[in-house]
Amino acid sequence: MSKTLQFERVGIRGVAAAVLCLTLASPARFQAATATATQSLSASISPIGKVSVPSSISLTDVGSTFASYAATLSVSYKVRTTPQGTGGSITMEAGSDFTPTGGPLLSSGNLTYTCSGPTLGTGCSGTQTVSTTTATPVLTIPASACTGGGGSCSSSNPNTVSINLSLVNQPSFATGTYTTSVTLTISAT
């Protein structure tokens, strides 16, 4: 057999082998592979509350001789309670008596308040006396309550309630500026 014929046979076999490889490899190269995965997600949504107030307010004389000093403390709050829980509340407690000494005394019941205009929940009932030893009620929040969004939630965001403070103005108080701080606490269940 001549060299030319031998190269032609090898060449034809080589071409045939290459075509066969390409033919067998082509379907795998042009087929798409798709895979999917599913992931479950869960979130545990808990009851929660947030309360905020201005950094300070001043009680002011209403103008009459020895009339009480007054101020309105605007309280903003956001809350979510559970259907199974007891709801929630906002309470207020003073950190200490007025300082310096010689002026009004919380321990003598000199600072009282009423609550008005809650946009979610029920404001305190009647006149409350601010205490340094007991948290007093400002607001009661029902079960299944939530701030904002409408529907079963309130339409307000944030919700608000007003605390109307009244400080006795007795002639026995020494002149001067007296201060104290109060802490408002929100709870939700």
In the block, residue with structure tokens 């034809």: 12
Of the listed ranges 29-33, 42-46, 119-123, the least confidently predicted one is 29-33
The reported pLDDT for the residue numbered 20 is: 45
The end-to-end CA distance of the chain, in Å, is: 99
Instruction: Express each pLDDT in 99-125 by its tens digit.
Output: 999 999 999 999 999 999 999 999 999
Which of 1-18 are b and which e, b meaning 16 or more Cβ less than 10 Å from the residue's Cβ?
A: eeeeeeeeeeeeeeeeee
Take residue 171 and report the two structure tokens written for it.
Answer: 């002639």
Q: Average pLDDT in the 71-85 region?
A: 95
| CA-based nearest residue to 89, from 13, 145, 128 | 145
Q: Average pLDDT in the 130-149 region?
A: 95
Question: What percent of the chain lies above the pLDDT cut of 90?
Answer: 74
Q: Average pLDDT in the 27-46 region?
A: 84
Query: Contact 52/77 with Cβ under 8 angstroms?
Result: yes
Q: Average pLDDT in the 12-37 region?
A: 61
In the block, residue with structure tokens 């000199």: 110
Q: Please, what is the average pLDDT of the chain?
A: 88
